[in-house]
Amino acid sequence: MKAISLSLFLGVLVVTSGQAQTPAPAKDRGTYNLQQQFSSLKFRSSTEIKYNQPHKVVKQASLDAFFKNVQDTLRARQQSIKNAGKETAVALAKTQKELADQKAQVQALQEVNAQKEKQIQQGAHDVASLSVLGMDMDKQVYVWLSLAIIAALGIVAAVFASMYKNSNRVTEEKIKAYDELTEEFKAHKQLAREKEIKLKREQQSEANKVEELKQQLAQFRH
């Protein structure tokens, strides 16, 4: 009865594997996969014909060993799947950590870029403007304001120059008039002195004549 059950089990395995006998490879059976072990099991089992059907007679020890290998393979695959799950979880945690690190790096780069942008804007502001009396002023405005101040100072200077020129001209005219008046006064004074000297001389002459007349009268009286 046990032999019949084993035959039926092997028959099912034969149908599942495509009913093909494969010669056992020459390498160590410990390195066979399940398909190779099953082929080797069929190859090493004897064949009997019952009810006009071929049946395989397999040793129970070989069948138990094959079943144990199947269980070991399933456990190994389950353990491999479990290990793969753990590795996947570790890889996922590592990936999440790397993503967090990359996010922090991106944020740091964004902050650096923002700081650089601020520095560039400050540099552009410093280039385009300057401080005048503690107030920020655009350079173009400063240039136009400076030109306006220079023009105003030029106008004021021109006005003062014109006023100075007029004042200098008036002063020169007054000095010239004073010099002319002084010369006229000197000439008048010289003329008056000459007249005075002339009058004194004439008076002296008249006095001399009077004295002579007095002397002549005195002589006539004697």
Q: Give the model confidence (pLDDT) of 123-145 as tens digits.
A: 777 776 666 666 767 777 878 88
On whether residue 180 sits in a domain, the answer given is yes
On whether residue 222 sits in a domain, the answer given is yes
Of 35, 58, 81, the residue at which a domain comes to its end is 58
Which residue carries 């290990």 as its tokens? 83
On whether residue 39 sits in a domain, the answer given is yes
Q: How confident is the model at residue 30 (pLDDT cuts 50, 70, 90)?
A: low
- The structure tokens listed for 74 are 């399933």
On whether residue 101 sits in a domain, the answer given is no
Mean pLDDT for all residues in the chain: 78
Q: How confident is the model at residue 31 (pLDDT cuts 50, 70, 90)?
A: low
**pLDDT score of 51 more than 70:** yes
**pLDDT score of 47 more than 80:** no
Tell me the residue range of the domain where 210 lies.
136-222
On whether residue 211 sits in a domain, the answer given is yes
Q: How confident is the model at residue 152 (pLDDT cuts 50, 70, 90)?
A: very high
Q: What is the pLDDT of residue 62?
A: 77
Q: How confident is the model at residue 151 (pLDDT cuts 50, 70, 90)?
A: very high
Q: What is the pLDDT of residue 133?
A: 66
Predicted TM-score of the model (pTM): 0.33
Percent of the chain that is helix, strand, coil (3-state, to 5): 80, 10, 10
Of 10, 26, 58, the residue at which a domain comes to its end is 58
Q: Give the model confidence (pLDDT) of 185-222 as tens digits.
A: 888 888 888 888 888 888 888 888 888 888 887 777 76
On whether residue 122 sits in a domain, the answer given is no
Of 19, 42, 58, the residue at which a domain comes to its end is 58
Domains in the chain: how many in total?
2
**pLDDT score of 14 more than 70:** no
**pLDDT score of 17 more than 50:** no
On whether residue 30 sits in a domain, the answer given is yes
On whether residue 100 sits in a domain, the answer given is no
Per the CB < 8 A criterion, the answer to whether 42 and 10 are in contact is yes
Give the contacts of 57 (CB within 8 A, at least 6 positions apart): 3, 6, 7, 45, 46, 47, 48
Q: Give the model confidence (pLDDT) of 68-92 as tens digits.
A: 888 888 888 888 888 888 888 888 8
